[in-house]
Amino acid sequence: MYQVPLHIVLLGVAVFLVLIAVLVLILGSRQRQTVIKKITLRELSSVWTKNGPCEIHIANLAPLWRDEKALADQEASSLVFSHKRVTEFYDRQINASWFCNAELHKEVCGKILLLLDKEGDCPSVVNAAGDVEGSWDTNTFNLLSQITLLNHTLNVAEETVKLLVQAEAQHIIPDAMIAALGHDLGKLESVRGYLYSLGEHPLAAGRPLAEIPEFKKLGRKEEITRAIKLHHKMPEGLLGKTLKKADQRARQKELEDAIERLGKDQKPEKSEAAPITKKANEESNSVPARAGNDSSAAWQAQADIYGDDAAETKKEAATPELINISAWFDAQAFLEALKPYINKMLGRRFMAFSMPDGHVYVQVKAMEEVARKMAERAGVMEIATMAQGDATMRKVLFTIVHHLRVEHNVIDRGLIKDAYFGGYFMVTTRDGKSFKGYYTPFHAEAFGSIAEMEKDKPDRLKKFQSVTAYAKKR
């Protein structure tokens, strides 16, 4: 039998395997080319949408290809005002950096300004029984009635920004701006109604604000509304207190400008102030200004605006009334709390000092601080949270001094009259210099040993040589 050589067998097997490999490759490539499955995009979307198909409004998709802030700016730029000052105010204040992340506030401010631009040429003062402005001195009312509601509102808004910038509290400017622009909307003729007739124009301001849809969406709308309602009363928090102070500052400047204009318009030979007959004031039923010099009228008006005796340096202040402080006041505790203030330097300042003649002179601010702390510990928050310069604090201080004077005899009644809680004194130093200050004079024994107090006295206070009652030059 013939045997095939081994090398020929191996060669045949190798050729066979190569043919099989080529065949597999050819068939595999043909199969990949022919297996193509087509599906619709709707079917494919199920890969990333678990809840199936849904409808999306085009407004929700627009931000994907449009700049939302640019759209808001475009809408804001379309606002057209008839008053040049409103346009300038909007460009300078509303388009400022503090509104970059407050588009909703910006829209509200724009709509308030449109309302004021249309109706704000009415007087900025209210002549309604029961309203705080209606109780102002006649001359004050007449002078301020020259200021339109629009101009007064913008003045308040500008003062608000200044105060918050000074306090480094720019973050609340958007909220405060709405409060400032809306604080007197209750004076608009279209808004006047029952609340206005009752003399509650701050309450009436809530209606036009509530009619602005964007205002309802604000997170702090309640705080803004409360600040507006209380801007003539006892405001709360930085927002409310800033609005009240801004309103007072604006009124003060408006008054000074009105006095200056009145002085320029008067003829030298006339001694009486001319009646104010501006068209904007026709409906206020105000009477001509009283006879007298402009200076006294200005000081009286300042007292009216600030609701306290800011005019005290120009005329004798009325005696404050006594109030009930028995719920929180304790005379001995009050004196003990005052003692740490005596002869203590706060930088270059002091609030109370002793003298070798047996007196301790205390600044009103020190007594006010102690009173606030005592009231707070007793839970009487109406005293503790009272705004700085609030007229009611004069009554509190007068009552305290009256109690210490009559019941405990620790106030030197020979240095101040019983109708006051303090007085002006001239302090003279050893080098001949002198300065005036307002102090309440206590008998030193109410605080302990005068020798001990003088021993611990700082060098600067030891230079005080004498303290005498200040006599006005006439």
Q: Provide the pLDDT for residue 338.
A: 97
Under DSSP, the state recorded for 280 is: G
Q: What residues are paired with 362 via a beta bridge?
A: 352, 440
3-class SS shares of the chain: helix, strand, coil, % to 5: 55, 10, 35
Got the DSSP string for 165-226?
Answer: HHTT-GGGHHHHHHHHHHTTGGGSTTT-SHHHHTT-HHHHTHHHHHT-HHHHT-TTHHHHHH
Closest to 399 in 3D by CA, of 310, 325, 319: 325
Distance in Å from the first CA to the final CA of the chain: 159
The secondary structure element, H or E, covering residue 300 is helix 294-306
Identify whether the C-beta of residue 273 lies closer than 8 Å to the C-beta of residue 139: yes
- Looking at 305-358, which runs of residues are DSSP E strands? 345-346, 349-350, 352-355
Q: What is the pLDDT along the chain (474 residues), one digit of tens a residue?
A: 566 677 777 777 777 787 887 777 777 665 555 556 677 766 666 666 655 566 665 555 555 554 545 545 555 557 899 999 999 999 999 999 999 999 999 999 999 999 999 999 998 887 755 555 655 557 767 888 889 999 999 999 999 999 999 999 999 999 999 999 998 888 888 876 644 444 456 666 778 888 999 999 999 999 998 888 876 666 678 898 899 889 888 888 888 888 788 766 654 333 333 333 333 333 333 333 333 344 444 445 545 554 444 444 444 456 778 999 999 999 999 999 999 999 999 888 999 999 999 999 999 999 999 998 898 777 776 777 666 667 788 999 999 999 999 999 999 999 999 999 999 999 999 999 999 999 999 999 999 999 999 998 999 999 999 999 987 654
Q: Provide the pLDDT for residue 441.
A: 97
Q: Residue 420: left if φ>0, alpha if ψ -120 to 50, beta else—which one?
A: beta
Q: Provide the pLDDT for residue 295.
A: 40
**Rounded CA gap, 16 and 9, in Å?**
11
**Rounded CA gap, 374 and 337, in Å?**
9
Secondary structure class of 360 (helix, strand, coil):
strand
Report domain 68-254's class. mainly alpha
**Rounded CA gap, 154 and 173, in Å?**
14
Closest to 450 in 3D by CA, of 365, 363, 353: 353
Tokens 């913008």, located at residue: 154
**Rounded CA gap, 299 and 125, in Å?**
19
Length of the chain: 474
Distance of CA 449 to the CA centre of its chain: 45
Q: Provide the pLDDT for residue 471.
A: 75
Q: Report in angstroms the alpha-carbon separations of 112 from 109, 175, 374.
A: 5, 13, 43
List all residues 6 or more positions away from 131 whose beta carbon is below 8 Å from its beta carbon. 199, 200, 201
Identify whether the C-beta of residue 278 lies closer than 8 Å to the C-beta of residue 132: no
* CATH 1.10.3210 placement within the chain: 68-254
Closest to 437 in 3D by CA, of 418, 411, 464: 464
**Rounded CA gap, 375 and 393, in Å?**
12
Q: Provide the pLDDT for residue 13.
A: 74
Q: Report in angstroms the alpha-carbon separations of 43 from 52, 53, 55.
A: 10, 10, 16
**Rounded CA gap, 359 and 270, in Å?**
51
Question: Between 149-166 and 103-119, two packed helices, what is the crossing angle to 10 degrees?
Answer: 150
Assigned token pair, 459: 């060098």
Tokens 């043909």, located at residue: 30
Identify whether the C-beta of residue 157 lies closer than 8 Å to the C-beta of residue 175: no
Closest to 306 in 3D by CA, of 264, 351, 253, 353: 253
Q: What residues are paired with 467 via a beta bridge?
A: 427
Distance of CA 228 to the CA centre of its chain: 10
